[in-house]
């Protein structure tokens, strides 16, 4: 199955800090790194790393061609990434000594995508293929409606959380993955437990406390694997990519959850977001080494 991702592409400006600055504080950073990021790009790379066939639909300024090169080298089809006259989106990421992060996000070209052109790409899909989207681009509802009209499944990452967008997209979703904070915001918005939405697949990720699945395959809790985390940036995107890749390939749900959890665990032991996403062979070796001790 093919996966078409209407997703953001960002330049991540990553700073290691001794602590997060308070209001009015000037803080000297310990290190700096520039890297490919954005929830969309991260998820596309995770999908490709997991073995899925993924077509990324998005936009970036051609002056930042190194972003295109890195996505292509990671196995993502970028034929339909648009060259935009708008500056490429970027994120300023601070990472503290505990591996937690704070992020400032500028959408840039991610909110200037030609949605008519994006929708036309879906003509290449077949019934049963998947589309994926997050809350970092324009045109989400129009894209989803176009995908549904073509018989494609909808996977939605409701992050960064925007209540109005989430409520508009939820009725169309086949797969929703949210973290604890996003889940709480959604519950408040709809005034009912998320299980009441009747989604085919619902996953709530809980960091070190694992993940819960509810849907057509039953109810499962996936424990997290204990690792020494150095950077949690993009861990949720890594989990999402591996989970959707397994779901699209009709793998067993318990194996999908285990492998997605393992991929995220491996990723947080590395610095960065997209570049830290592990390949499938590394994930399977990690699973084999830890399955008796931690799962």
Among all residues, which ones are annotated catalytic? 237
Peptide bond into 42 cis (omega under 30): no
Rounded to whole angstroms, the Cα distance separating 286 from 295 reads 12
Q: Could you give the CA distance from residue 190 to residue 103 in angstroms, rounded to a whole number?
A: 27
Are the CB atoms for 84 and 61 separated by under 8 Å?
A: yes
Report the C-alpha dihedral over residues 50, 273, 133, 258, rounded to 10 degrees: 40
DSSP-assigned states of every residue in 175-216: EEEEEHHHHHHHHHHHTS-GGGG--SEEEEE-GGG-EEEEET
């Amino acid at each position: 199955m093919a996966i078409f991702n209407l997703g953001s592409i960002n330049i991540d400006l990553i700073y290691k800090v001794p602590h997060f600055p308070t209001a009015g504080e000037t803080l000297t950073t310990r290190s700096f790194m520039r890297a490919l990021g954005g929830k969309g790009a991260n998820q596309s790379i995770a999908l490709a790393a997991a073995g899925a066939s993924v077509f990324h639909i998005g936009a970036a300024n051609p002056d930042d061609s190194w972003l295109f090169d890195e996505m292509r080298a990671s196995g993502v089809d970028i034929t339909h990434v648009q060259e935009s006259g708008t500056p490429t989106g970027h994120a300023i990421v601070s990472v503290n000594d505990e591996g937690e992060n704070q992020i400032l996000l500028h959408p840039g070209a991610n909110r200037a995508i030609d949605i008519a052109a994006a929708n036309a790409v879906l003509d290449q899909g077949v019934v049963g293929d998947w589309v994926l989207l997050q809350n970092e681009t324009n045109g989400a509802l129009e894209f989803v409606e176009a995908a549904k009209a073509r018989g494609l499944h909808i996977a939605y990452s409701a992050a960064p959380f925007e209540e109005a967008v989430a409520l508009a997209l939820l009725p169309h979703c086949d797969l929703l993955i949210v973290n604890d904070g996003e889940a709480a915001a959604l519950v408040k918005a709809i005034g009912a437990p998320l299980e009441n939405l009747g989604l085919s697949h619902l996953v709530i990720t809980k960091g070190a406390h694992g993940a819960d699945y509810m849907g057509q395959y039953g109810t499962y809790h996936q424990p997290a694997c204990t690792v020494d985390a150095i950077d949690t940036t993009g861990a949720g995107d890594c989990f999402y990519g591996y989970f959707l890749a397994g779901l699209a390939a009709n793998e067993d749900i318990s194996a999908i959850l285990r492998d997605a959890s393992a991929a995220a665990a491996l990723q947080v032991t590395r610095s960065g977001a997209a570049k830290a996403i592990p390949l499938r062979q590394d994930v399977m070796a990690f699973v084999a080494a830890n399955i008796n001790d931690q799962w």
